[in-house]
Amino acid sequence: MAGTQPVPKVLIVGGGPAGLVLAITLLQNHVPVRIIEKTVEPRLGQRGAGIMPRSLELFKTLRINEAVEKIAISTPPVRTYEMPAGVKPLHTFEMAPLLKPTPACPYLNIVLLGQDRLEKIFHAVLAQYGCRVEKGTELTNFQQSENYVEVKLRVRGDGSAEGAVEETTRFDWVIGTDGARGVVRKMLGLSFLGETRNIENLVVGDICDETQRLLKYWHMWGDAHTTLISLRPTETPGLFNFMVAGRNINHRQLSSDQNALLRCFIENTGGRPDLSFGPIPWMSHYTPNIRMVDKFGYGRVYIAGDAGHVHSPTGGQGMNASIQDSWNLGWKLALVAKGLASRTLIDSYTEERIPVIAEVLDRTTKILNRTFHEKDDSVWKTSPSLMQLGVNYRWSSIVLDEQKKEELTPEEIEYNRIYGLDDSDSEDEALGSAYGSSYDRRLRAGDRAPDAPNLEDAYQKHPPRRLFDIYGSHFHTVLCFTSSKAKWEQVSSVVSRYAAGIVRAGLILRPGSVVPKTDGADFVLIDRKYHAHGGYDICDSCWIVVVRPDGFIGGILAGAEGLERYFSGIFGKP
């Protein structure tokens, strides 16, 4: 993969998780990129440490899940303390109880990994493609035309103003992942409406526990209604992520005075003599902003991640929502950049993501309000819907569903309750449809594509495969649940009209099926344990499922005519 890079088609402005995931996605789609970052110093700390199951599935498709899982840790149990002594445990509970993976959902548990460590994994992947983040490089202006975007850059190398070099160059596309204070959104003139919350301030950062006594639990003293001290263990033994919250706290003073912060820890944990806090690698004063754009860009310039939406950190949705913006945009931009799809395909990026982000803001704001106004431990328990496995794009103009909708069965209602796809959260409040409200287990186009293990190759004695190993970030996957040779030939005829490598197709057979002759199939798999047929429990009349490069179902179809109609909506007429 390494070697001389072709001229970049896409400039990515901002080297955080959203920009890095977008760069990796485009590179895997053979679209050359250049990614720049204004700051020079590496990011420190545990920002955005909660990685949701849906993001782990994203990492699986990007083939970086093993590197993440190797160093990430599970969410520890929470322990609260009786005050004012701060020594005797009051309650111990699971913020996110461990769930046993299922064939359809191999990732059902949140893991924790500091953003600094996660970004190092991303950088290592970029290096494999001969790409790196150009630090000390700043976008100062751009002008877009019908065919390109002309940009002005200031390259400062070591970050100093002296010796800065001005550069003017052109790209086919510019994507701003430069955060809430970034310049791309401002230069585009996009709205960023919302509110700033001046009451629910936080001081966050990392701190060392020199006694090594706190490793087992996520410790909390007090409550955010008055004063809260939270210490969460990290993947680095002895290093804790802290949060200081509450109306009795002078947040600005604490965030600028480490000695005052340490005194606050001592005073609000009961002055425990068995604790000794050491260095504080980083800390920051955080004022919740709740804002979002009404569209993600236009022309040849778009934004993703915090550049387009900011909200409370409660609920752990921020980093996950940001990288999934890039995940949604990446495959669409790649097809357009390579001339395989019309520019109108990118319109679906705003269409699909805006409803999801609106619900992110709604959910995290509700959790923020509960955290600061209630004293019940239940405010810290994670709703299953926050795992993001129910996030969907059922309303999208580029998905196609030829099924007939049916009533929910009691079994489907119970499934929804367990996996957070029911009509209410822990407070029986209505959930918006973007996160899976009222969605039955029977799949619809626009839903997340389930996994299925133990699939045997019909022709060769290979180890069993799983669907998540078959899906990829740079192609559509067509699953044909049939053993009919005639039906396969119809599908093959449609697929063959498109450029090689952008569509892969094959058969998923029931045990005992006669294996048909399938010229041109990328896979023919026997669903020995019915995991695929069970997970893809679509109506009897539909036998084709199209899985998009981002792992969402693009089409559930009754035949080759529907398949042709779906791909026409993506690629245009062949």
Number of H helices, E strands in the chain: 14, 29
Residues 6 or more apart from 461 whose CB is under 8 A from it? Answer: none
Structure tokens of 61?
A: 């498709």
* CA-derived radius of gyration, the chain: 25
Does 272 lie in the same domain as 333? no
Question: Dihedral angle at the C-alpha atoms of 344, 347, 348, 351, nearest 10 degrees?
Answer: -150
Does 248 lie in the same domain as 162? no
Q: Which amino acid is at 530?
A: Y
CATH number assigned to the domain comprising residue 150? 3.50.50.60
Does 39 lie in the same domain as 118? yes
In-domain check, residue 497? yes
How far is CA 415 from each of CA 381, 403, 410, 411, rounded to the nearest angstrom? 20, 20, 9, 6
Cα 515–Cα 517–Cα 523 angle in degrees, nearest 5: 75
In-domain check, residue 399? no
Domain count, the chain: 4
In-domain check, residue 334? yes
| C-alpha–C-alpha distance, residues 5 and 387, integer Å | 37
In-domain check, residue 93? no
Boundary residue ending a domain (286, 311, 330): 286
In-domain check, residue 436? yes
Spell out where 309-458 has E strands: 309-310, 400-401, 455-457
Boundary residue ending a domain (270, 286, 302): 286
Contact call for residues 293 and 107 (beta carbons, < 8 A): no
Does 514 lie in the same domain as 419? no
Does 173 lie in the same domain as 139? yes
Query: Looking at the DSSP assignment, which residues form a beta bridge with residue 203?
Result: 244, 285
In-domain check, residue 344? yes
CATH number assigned to the domain comprising residue 539? 3.40.30.10
Does 231 lie in the same domain as 302? no
Does 139 lie in the same domain as 38? yes
Does 34 lie in the same domain as 177? yes
pLDDT per residue as tens, the chain (574 positions)? 444 557 889 999 999 999 999 999 999 999 999 999 999 887 777 777 899 999 999 999 999 999 999 999 999 999 988 887 777 888 898 887 888 999 999 999 999 999 999 999 999 999 999 999 999 999 999 999 999 999 999 998 765 667 789 999 999 999 999 999 999 999 999 999 988 876 667 888 998 877 666 678 899 888 877 888 889 999 988 888 998 988 777 888 888 888 888 888 888 887 776 677 788 888 888 787 889 999 999 999 999 999 999 987 777 788 999 999 999 999 999 999 999 999 999 999 999 999 999 988 888 888 877 776 666 665 666 677 788 898 999 999 999 999 876 655 565 555 555 444 443 343 333 334 687 644 345 789 999 999 999 999 998 888 899 999 999 999 999 999 999 999 999 999 999 999 889 999 999 999 999 898 888 899 999 999 999 999 998 877 899 999 999 999 999 999 999 999 999 999 987 6
For residue 317, the enclosing domain spans 10-44+53-63+113-193+294-358
User: What spatial distance separates the first Cα and last Cα of the chain, rounded to whole Å?
Assistant: 30
Does 216 lie in the same domain as 181? no
Q: Is 358 helix (H, G, I), strand (E, B) or coil?
A: helix
Query: Looking at the DSSP assignment, which residues form a beta bridge with residue 12?
Result: 35, 175
Spell out where 340-429 has E strands: 400-401
Does 169 lie in the same domain as 217? no
Does 318 lie in the same domain as 432? no
Does 270 lie in the same domain as 162? no
In-domain check, residue 255? yes
Boundary residue ending a domain (441, 467, 485): 441
In-domain check, residue 365? no
